[in-house]
Amino acid sequence: MATRKPLVVGNWKMNLDHREATYFVQKLAWLLRDAHFDYDDCDIALLPPFTSIRSVQVLVDADKLNIRYGAQTVSVTAQGAFTGDVSADMLSALGCTYVLVGHSERRRYYADDDALLVDQVRAVLAAGMTPILCVGEGYEERREGIELDYAVGQVDDITRDLSEEDAAKLIVAYEPVWAIGTGLVATPQSAQDAAAAIRQHFTHIYSAETAQKIRILYGGSVTASNATLLMNEAHDMDGFLVGGASLQAEEFASIIRLTL
């Protein structure tokens, strides 16, 4: 039987500067305290832009908040003449726990390809952090009815050469591209089907024991209005990767509470 702890991750994308991040974290902590939130029941994480990570860290450390944080992408090189890049060790030194790998916006706007994503997963793991690997089909694949094969294929493309020990540390976010930022949400059944297919893949490649350890999130227009239905009916899903709805502390706190 799986004993995976639910996880709710807020992907702020290129929103909330360091002052807004400070205000957000203070408010979120207050809302969760006010709701007598039991931090042992759910993991919470924020993925700010690079420039806001330190502000989140300062508050989390000062108030001993049980909120984790991380980054939205990472360099695959350790250091040196790579203008604009931020290394995995730099993120780890800031206390980051998670790094997104392969978000559809990165794949689309920056042409992050499989070879890069494989190296990112390795860099994140080597720095002692957890990659959150994003996969999911677009409109085309869904129309053709190949969405499960497509998402599982993306997982395989990036994780094929990972040892079982490393694979067990992964988090996968199933995010159908047509659902990201559109207000369109996967049905609980299709979120469940995708999560089950991804877990089945890990069972096949590694073992049932390892597959049961891997947390699988759903992402794509999650809000406080649809979180309960998705969580109750998609049993292989362990929480959410939230974009737009993670920018308002009230709504994000509601999603966290509804995930329990």
Residue numbers belonging to the annotated binding site: 11-13, 181, 221, 243-244
C-alpha R_g of the chain:
17
Query: Which of 129, 242, 249, 253 is close enough to bind ligand PEP by CB under 6 A?
Result: 242
Q: How remote is the C-alpha of 62 from its chain's centroid?
A: 25
Do 59 and 53 contact (CB within 8 A), yes or no?
no
Do 259 and 8 contact (CB within 8 A), yes or no?
yes
Q: What are phi and psi of 173, to 5 degrees?
A: -110, 115
Active site residue 103: yes
* Shortest separation between residue 208's beta carbon and ligand PEP, angstroms: 28
| Residue 180 lies near ligand PEP (rule: CB under 6 A) | yes
Query: Which of 137, 141, 175, 236 is close enough to bind ligand PEP by CB under 6 A?
Result: 175
Task: Report how far apart, in Å, the C-alpha atoms of 163 and of each of 100, 141, 166, 259 are.
Answer: 20, 29, 5, 31
Do 6 and 240 contact (CB within 8 A), yes or no?
no
* Shortest separation between residue 164's beta carbon and ligand PEP, angstroms: 27
Question: Which of these is catalytic: 103, 105, 137, 147?
Answer: 103
* Annotated binding-site positions for substrate: 11-13, 181, 221, 243-244
Distance CA 249, CA 33 (A): 13
Distance CA 246, CA 44 (A): 11
Binding mask 118-157 for ligand PEP (x = CB under 6 A): ----------------------------------------
- By beta-carbon proximity to ligand PEP, the closer residue of 59 and 179 is 179
Do 222 and 242 contact (CB within 8 A), yes or no?
yes
Query: Which of 130, 243, 257, 259 is close enough to bind ligand PEP by CB under 6 A?
Result: 243
Query: Which of 11, 120, 130, 190 is close enough to bind ligand PEP by CB under 6 A?
Result: 11
* Shortest separation between residue 244's beta carbon and ligand PEP, angstroms: 3
Active site residue 175: yes
Q: Tell me which stretch binds ligand PEP (CB under 6 A): 34-42, 61-69, 111-119, 237-245.
A: 237-245
CB atoms within 10 A of CB 152: 20
Q: How remote is the C-alpha of 69 from its chain's centroid?
A: 11
Query: Which of 52, 147, 244, 254 is close enough to bind ligand PEP by CB under 6 A?
Result: 244
Distance CA 250, CA 40 (A): 20
Distance CA 47, CA 56 (A): 10
The SS3 of residue 131 is strand
Using CB positions, name the residue nearest to ligand PEP.
243
Question: Which of these is catalytic: 137, 175, 201, 251?
Answer: 175
Binding mask 195-234 for ligand PEP (x = CB under 6 A): ------------------------xxxx------------
Do 26 and 253 contact (CB within 8 A), yes or no?
no
Q: Which parts of this chain interact with ligand PEP (CB under 6 A)? A: 11, 175, 180-181, 219-222, 241-245
Active site residues: 103, 175
